[in-house]
């Protein structure tokens, strides 16, 4: 599964993209797994209300299932326009 | 409705875009065109903005903008629609983005442009970072921008 | 706020006007620009529109437009404002008029442009006459246009 | 006093402008005076709800006084934009 990070999430974690193997069945489980990795992940994911998630390039929710998903992206609320 | 969606690093001239849009709107029978342009504000005072960097999510950005344009076309009888957004490094006073709408009557053209802007602000994956004399900071999302979507539900 | 008011017989290019307006808006610290353009609708079908003639009241027109622009500037923090309206004979698909507004934020720029349009429609002394294959007729005022002013009271 | 006519009012009356001497003290009295002149005036002023009036280039009302006014204009509701 490809995990992408944008804006300050990318900066805190220190990379824009990584490929991981996971048995997580929901986004929330995936986040738990990432948090246990290293302090920089724990810090980036410390407040989920400050984060948004997209599954296969569609905005989604943290309780959404990961079955069949190939690309997960984490980022702060958008500020375009 | 035919939507022209462009996500580009290159600078653009809002006037040149409107010049190209006008005959397309007229040919579609439109009596009203509305354009919105966002500019990098060159804030005066200590540590004024020297640069803005816009990050986006290639692939998702285009999909999100197409979806927003299609939703606008479902709600209002529209002629052509333009959505144009830059990414990368911008300096003060440069155009950041632009939308243009066309319809038979003015209310539809105005509402569709406001709808596109409200959704683009909170639902298209762009992030702005400002660099000033005091350092750099990611622009925080404003709760008013999220609240603005309530108008369209 | 500095208002540019033009009442002219000559054709104009909305894009060229926006190109000239953009640096004025940027220099005033605006982050948002909105433009509205009205076009002669080229209605298809039997007796389609072949020509539009716009009559106005020289002297009163300019005063009325200045007053509308000044009222918009009292209500919203505006950068430059442009109001441009043609008179005389126009053909299908030609731009009739244009307004442009600039402000720090998008809501003010949108609202000011809609306010200018609503007042211009019902309070500036212009009258449109349409010439079609079936003859000529003065365009009737629409009650919705008068009703639109209620939003601003 | 200068009287101006625009759009179909001008067409019905058959001229864009005329100078008249009047003792009317309000717009309504002036309209009554004009109506008695000729059929084309009576016709143009048959329905005041379909007309607007400006005094010295400011929109006004039919019951407004004419004291000091130099220019009166009659026209249909405006249709710009």
pLDDT string in tens for chain C (153-residue length):
789 999 999 999 999 999 999 999 999 999 999 999 999 997 655 466 678 999 999 999 999 999 999 999 999 999 999 999 999 999 999 999 999 999 999 999 999 999 999 999 999 999 999 988 888 999 999 999 999 999 999
Per the structure, the complete domain to which residue C33 belongs is given by: 3-152
- Sorted by sequence, the CB contacts under 8 Å of residue D11 that are 6+ apart come out as none
Beta bridge partners of B4: B82
Chain C contact probe: residue of B21, B35, B118 with most C CBs at under 10 A: B35
Containing B39, the helix (H) or strand (E) segment is strand B32-39
Q: Measuring CA to CA, which residue among C113, C144, C132 is closest to residue C41?
A: C132
Q: Domain count of chain C?
A: 1
For residue C46, what pLDDT is reported? 47
Distance from B72 to chain A by nearest Cα, in Å?
Answer: 16
The beta strands (E) that lie in C2-151 are given as 3-8, 32-39, 49-56, 78-86, 88-90, 95-103, 126-132, 135-138
Residue B81: closest CA among B65, B95, B94, B57: B65
- Between C44 and A1, whose confidence is greater? A1
Report pTM: 0.96
The four Cα atoms B106, B108, B114, B115 give a dihedral, to 10 degrees, of -170
Q: Which domains does chain A have, with CATH numbers?
A: 2-75 (3.10.20.30)
DSSP state of A37: T
Are residues B93 and C34, on separate chains, in Cβ contact within 8 Å?
no
How much is the pLDDT for A45? 98
Question: Quick check: D42 and D35 in contact, CB under 8 A?
Answer: yes
| CB of C2 closer than 8 Å to CB of C70 | no
Scanning A23-62 for CB atoms below 8 A from B yields 54, 57-59
The one-character DSSP state at C74 is: H
All chains having 3 or more CB pairs closer than 8 angstroms to chain B? A, C
Q: Report yes or no: B9 at the A interface, CB cutoff 8 Å.
A: no
Give the number of other CB atoms < 10 A from CB of residue C124. 26
Q: Is B36–C40 a contact, with Cβ atoms under 8 angstroms apart?
A: no
Structure tokens at C148: 């639109």
Whether chain D has a CB inside 8 Å of the CB on C106: the answer is no
Residue with the two structure tokens 């625009």: D6
Token couple for A69 = 């998903």
Cα-trace Rg, chain C: 16
Q: How far is CA C87 from CA B16, B86, C53, C97, in A?
A: 25, 38, 7, 9
Residues in chain D within 8 Å Cβ distance of C139: 79
Give the whole-angstrom CA distance, residue B47 versus residue B50.
8
Interface confidence (ipTM) of the complex:
0.95
CATH number of the domain to which C75 belongs: 3.90.1170.40
Helix, strand, coil shares of chain A, percent, nearest 5, are 30, 25, 45
Q: What is the pLDDT of residue A31?
A: 98
Q: In this complex, which of A59, A78, A81 lies closest to B97 when CB atoms are compared?
A: A81
B100 phi, psi to nearest 5 deg: -140, 140
For the beta sheet containing B3-8, the strands, ordered from the edge strand earlier in sequence to the opposite edge, are B3-8, B78-86, B95-103, B32-39, C32-39, C95-103, C78-86, C3-8
- Could you read off the pLDDT tens digit of each residue along chain B, which spans 153 residues? 789 999 999 999 999 999 999 999 999 999 999 999 999 997 655 466 678 999 999 999 999 999 999 999 999 999 999 999 999 999 999 999 999 999 999 999 999 999 999 999 999 999 999 998 888 999 999 999 999 999 999
Contact B57, A6 (CB under 8 A): yes
Q: What pLDDT is recorded for position C44?
A: 57
Please tell me whether residue C144 adopts helix, strand or coil conformation: helix
Q: What is the 3-state secondary structure (H, E, C) of C46-69?
A: CCCEEEEEEEECCCHHHHHHHHHH
Position B46 scores a pLDDT of 47
Question: Do D and A touch (≥3 CB pairs < 8 Å)?
Answer: no
Minimal CA–CA distance to C2: which of C75, C78, C110? C78
Specify the pLDDT at position B42: 76
- Give tens-digit pLDDT for D18-45: 999 999 999 999 999 999 999 999 999 9
Question: Mind listing the pLDDT tens digit for each residue in B106-146?
Answer: 999 999 999 999 999 999 999 999 998 888 999 999 999 99
Residue B102, pLDDT score:
98
Q: Are C118 and C35 in contact (CB under 8 A)?
A: no
Q: Which residues contact B74 (CB under 8 A, 6 or more apart)?
A: none
> What stretches of chain D show up as alpha helix (H) in DSSP?
7-13, 27-35, 39-44
Name the residue among B96, B125, B129 with its Cβ closest to that of A78: B125
CB-closest option in D6, D54, D81 to C38:
D81
Q: Does B54 touch chain A (CB under 8 A)?
A: yes
CA neighbours within 13 Å on the CB side: how many for B91? Answer: 0
Least Cα distance to C123 among C65, C48, C45 occurs for: C65
- Are B123 and A76 within 8 A, CB to CB? no
Give tens-digit pLDDT for C69-92.
999 999 999 999 999 999 999 999
What would the pLDDT profile of A7-59 be if each residue is shown by its tens digit?
999 999 999 999 999 999 999 999 999 999 999 999 999 999 999 999 999 99
Rounded Cα distance between C26 and B41, Å, is 7
């Amino acid at each position: 599964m490809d995990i992408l990070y944008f804006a300050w999430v990318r900066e805190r974690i220190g990379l824009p993209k990584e490929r991981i193997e996971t048995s997580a069945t929901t986004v929330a489980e995936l986040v738990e797994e990432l948090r246990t990795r290293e302090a920089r992940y724990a810090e980036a994911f410390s407040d989920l209300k400050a984060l948004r998630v997209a599954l296969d390039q569609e905005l989604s929710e943290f309780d959404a299932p990961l079955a069949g998903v190939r690309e997960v992206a984490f980022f702060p609320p958008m500020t375009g326009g | 409705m035919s939507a022209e969606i462009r996500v580009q690093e290159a600078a653009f001239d809002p006037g040149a875009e409107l010049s190209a849009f006008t005959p397309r709107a007229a040919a579609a029978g439109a009596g009203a065109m509305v354009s919105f342009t966002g500019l990098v504000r060159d804030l005066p005072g200590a540590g004024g903005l020297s640069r803005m960097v816009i990050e986006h999510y290639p692939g998702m950005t285009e999909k999100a903008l197409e979806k927003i344009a299609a939703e606008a076309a479902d709600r209002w009888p529209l002629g052509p629609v333009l959505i144009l957004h830059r990414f990368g490094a911008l300096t003060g006073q440069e155009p950041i983005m632009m939308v243009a709408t066309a319809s038979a009557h003015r209310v539809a053209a105005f509402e569709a442009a406001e709808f596109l802007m409200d959704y683009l602000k909170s639902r298209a994956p762009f992030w702005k970072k400002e660099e000033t004399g005091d350092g750099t900071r990611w622009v925080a999302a404003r709760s008013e921008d999220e609240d603005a979507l309530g108008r369209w539900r």
